[in-house]
Amino acid sequence: ETGVTQSPTHLIKTRGQQVTLRCSSQSGHNTVSWYQQALGQGPQFIFQYYREEENGRGNFPPRFSGLQFPNYSSELNVNALELDDSALYLCASSAWTVTDTQYFGPGTRLTVL
Amino acid sequence: GDSVTQMEGPVTLSEEAFLTINCTYTATGYPSLFWYVQYPGEGLQLLLKATKADDKGSNKGFEATYRKETTSFHLEKGSVQVSDSAVYFCALSSNDYKLSFGAGTTVTVRA
């Protein structure tokens, strides 16, 4: 059974640029959630995708957007990057019937200069 | 809204010591409660969960009991090892799509 994978591992961007992060869900999981973890803090919920549609969203501006594909993989897109967007971005997958039990990938470390 | 408050760290222990990390929560309804662990440079791993009052979650020697009367879910381990050094996060889910996390507690176990 393959776990949650994310790419890339690390990324460096400059302020104002756009970035796309990718996530492949665990085998058998059809729901993907994204979280932002700033240094020294707990993860903050960005949004969740199910059946290729956004199923819930946290307190993040519209420049944070996402996609889910028919194979349940997902992308997180962030436009007009700001310095405060520097963080570890975590993807988590779950089965729709047990969405509260989420399994996390290793994360993508984004640095905005 | 939902929130989780957990014991501030860092916590430093000697091997074979007893570990307790306090966690209290505020939520509507009857949330599910979780402990996640994050090892250096890695993502979060689910350690244990409990879905209703008085449930006890357990895994790898760690235990936590869902106490509705005190809105708590304290994590305990009777004898820690160096390999237990990590950041521990308490979390809750009250609406099936979002996990709300505490700020994390860094635990260092010395040989």
DSSP of A50-104: ETTEEEEE-S--TTEEEEE-TTS-EEEEE-S--GGG-EEEEEEEE-GGGTTS-EE
CB atoms A48 and B93 under 8 Å: no
DSSP state of B28: S
pLDDT of residue A1: 58
**In Å, what is the CA distance from A33 to each residue of A73, B3, B100?**
11, 19, 12
pLDDT of residue B99: 92
CB A105 within 8 A of CB B43: yes
**H or E segment and range at residue B30:** none
**H or E segment and range at residue B94:** none
pLDDT of residue B97: 75
| A77: closest CA of chain B, how far (Å) | 19
Model confidence pLDDT, tens digit, residues A47-65: 999 989 998 899 999 999 9
| A96: closest CA of chain B, how far (Å) | 9
CB B87 within 8 A of CB B107: yes
**Which one has a higher pLDDT value, B71 or B42?**
B71
Q: Report the residue from B97, B99, B103 with minimal CB separation from A41.
A: B103
Instruction: Provide the residue count of chain A.
Output: 113
CB atoms A107 and B43 under 8 Å: yes
**What's the average model confidence in pLDDT over B75-89?**
96
pLDDT classification of B96: cutoffs 50, 70, 90: low
Question: What is the pLDDT of chain B when averaged over all its residues?
Answer: 93
Q: Which residues of B touch A101 (CB under 8 A)?
A: 32, 34, 46, 49
**What's the average model confidence in pLDDT over A85-111?**
89
Coil, helix or strand for B110?
Answer: strand
| Interface A:B, Cβ pairs < 8 A | 61
